[in-house]
Structure 1
């Protein structure tokens, strides 16, 4: 017994020592711990969570952290619902590869949804917040999703991501947002979907693509849907009020279409009464009364005559449509015949791509078992055929200084536009990093179909031509484009250091804070780009979308203004950009009228300068109410040197010339004047910044670690790095 007691004591002591070692060394995977800390910072280090602050432990699995569930040393669940949290959902959560449940619903989170969501999450709930922007395309790769709830936010644009890979999704809730556009064709490829909530949005088009889904509940109320509710959906729990449904009987399906499956197969065919009283109950017992009366025979004869007439009618129509259909096939075959054989091979392989709908290549016959998303093969005559905008029969003039890329080229270079190549999302579309065989790296901007529909290919040619004439050292250069199969893509030079927004607001171990000289250089280079667009180009180009995410930095941290000319030449671009009003960059008059001018560009540039000075975002819902709008909070303090010193980005650590800071603030104050007529033209802004640099005593102390870049051949004396 004594020996056994010693064994127990030794075992207990060993367990205690092991436990102490685990607590000291940390029980959480280091990547998970870092991501949780990033989340904590994004949530404004919310005190209601009770998580330890920096320096007081970083071990959510080894310690008890509210809302965090672990398995061994990996975080598997984050449930922080209904805690009054503020701030934003940050980037940097992708390393949480064991996370299966992320619930941040019913809080006060603002900003946009980052495209770096934990890749293996099954249940994602961000409902009942203040999230804005669009739903990231990277959601296409969340292949483990079973439940997705984004309801009751302020999300905009369409459902532009690809649902075809979300094979386990059973519940989708995007209700009570401001989503627009037609439902994507890939929605029809959800094999396990049972509940779908789309009410209170601005969706358009029909809901036909939902017809064959295994839905049990569907809510599409309060949208702008048209057409008829498919027969298959009338047998489920559906709420469809307040739409623009068509009245009258549903038109018959095309000949050859199989009958729609019915969920109530026990009902008798025909148009008889559904009553279960009287003679109906007699005929249902053991099939005793199976005879057909004289009225029934007459009805059958009449039905045969009517059906015969319908069949004859469609046979005639089908002969007529065959000629039109064969003409269409010839046109499409000609477009393929013009390709080299190896490129044609690529084009055929693209049928499985997420970018191109395989049905776009269907040249079979005028009868399809599954109707394509665009009713291209309905019966029409030759005159109607000539009016079809989607038929590729018009040669596109290629601007001389640009390269025309095929979709096959860009598919290969971007890994089929995979999320791994995604570098950003903007108002007009997503941007991908493209790696070509010869080692060249470019940026490909895929314009959303909701911004530029496929019937505006002629407009796209004009857009490309106009942008191709913009040449300036501080304007991102357009090097190519692609216009095939209704897709519109722009190919730009690639800048390896990303955007100014990333440098100012996204912390990582590789990036260093921008020193003062570099911030002034970025402001001056961006001002020169705008001066070129406003005062050198004829006619003047209004950028309309000046913000830190559109200022790209090259290897020397010199700025390049992206999306230049895009908003000026895209039809209805103002309506697209108006969805982003409230971001903090737009001038007061834009919020009132929705119209952009040269002077509204000047205002937005002033906001970027203020962002450079303070390190704050232009609008931050996580801050106290009086500090959420950067311009409103900072403007009264721009001429107070003491207040200005407190406003400066703390990452500068006081390493800046005071006079330079003061003059920088003076330029900001001029640019963000509430009245547009009092804002200076960009040429005067450039001159003021040049004088600032010339007068400033740029000591070696402010240069830090040579982040200011190299000389660009400026003709102003004393500009050094500028």
Structure 2
């Protein structure tokens, strides 16, 4: 009996021991799971975004312990992930949308894979020192978030399909290596490259860059490759001293590079007499020019070129001083001048009169010995301004003939229509074919014999003061240079018999304003999917105008009535290129337009790319709420859409109450919240706090990517379905 009890006690002891061991194992397992939760979340999303590659051993799509379980390619310090090295792993897909959570990551290397097929995600780790995404398939633009990585030392984006780089390098002063080679980048080298004061190695080869490379002249480069681009000008002398320099495949000039503008005479050696002691006995005016008989030893080494340079400088300085001395007196004269005026400097004043119209040449004659030396001095007494291509030309002005004053019609590739063609197609612009009226004129539907349908904008003459036909041709040339799938396509124009007409593609679904605010019983309300799609396409249009066009194009008139929708509800932004015709200050602004105007435009009348961003935020609010930007029919506290909506954008309960009732609750709550976050950024009252459009595009792209991942994972399906309803496609 006693022995049996002992046996039972042994069994109990074994069970107890097993329980303790299980507890210890669980405890130890918990201890080993020491990776920061944000890092785990970011790596889970990254794994899913890369289509869960099997070659990444130990990686999982949910939870896990990257540091404790030694995930392939992951390096940690304590509980934080500090490096991700996945080069040449045959991975496809893209990067995760929340990699900004990896705040301790200093190195990210996913080079030599098949990642991409889309833009580089905006939310990259913010504290990177080394970023290598080379030899992938990334497209679009270099994300603006890279400009904030002030610790970055190595950036390699070579061998991708990137098409755009913004002027975004001002803060990257720690960068030592930059590789943008083998992409499709074009335009001038960003001016902010001159801030890369520690840059040693720069690879720009095999792109489409043009212009000069002067901005690189003062960088401490030891390796420079700009081969196979479209560069022109000269290779700066400083760059020629670089040991590893490759410049072939461009159109650089031969010979030594000229001095930087404004042009300066070649330097000459200073003779001994130029010391302060030797200059004191002789006054400068008599020594240099007015005492040719004084040929003592102090002047024995003056060359003719040196004397000429001094003479020119003194006369120019004297002319400038004389101008300011008699400026008031000169402007008090009648236009033709006083016939009795006998000022000794009147020829110079006459020259200044011409220079006030535009830059002139003043010819200065000085006699040195018996030789006559003629020098031409270029003088401009006011800040440089953009040349008015259509200003009247003085027939006697020789210098003005060097400027091309009018744009040649042959340089415009857009087809030209006749007035007769457009009159027939529009029924002589009859009221039945009138489909809209805007700031610049009325728009008519035009039907042609070949069944083509266009929208013809008949421009008001009041929009073109002075020379309407010339300004109109310049407008056509500017618009025809814009090319983006989210812009309304200009397919023709007409400039004859005093008529100014533009022909655009006709979009059968009309404007976004009509679809949102002119709803009747037959109207089909826009789904949440469609609204996000319209917002993203419109954002890409502004991104193109602001960050791809050089110089940037400010729209100034971004609103829902200027966004037209095709059969697939793709947006097309109209009135792009009209900004020069919009005065900074308008005497009267409609209620509708006032709702889109940024605070700084209302206060000062000054537009910028950031005022466009604000207007875009207002359109997003229209998409979210279905309300007009300004509506006097509502209570005073709700008349201004921005004023009413902004305080509620971060309150999820209030947000649900703000949503357009036409959606009938069919929207995903997470997508709604992120959409509202983007709006809040865009409509901030201070322009410097509004994001660039490239960032807004990335926010909306991530919103779509997250929705796609949700659909793949089958998660959150109930968050958008109302009363048990279901759909084939889950909205964004």
- TM (norm. structure 2) is 0.45
- TM (norm. structure 1) is 0.45
Structure number with the bigger relative contact order (C-alpha 8 A, sep ≥ 6) is 1
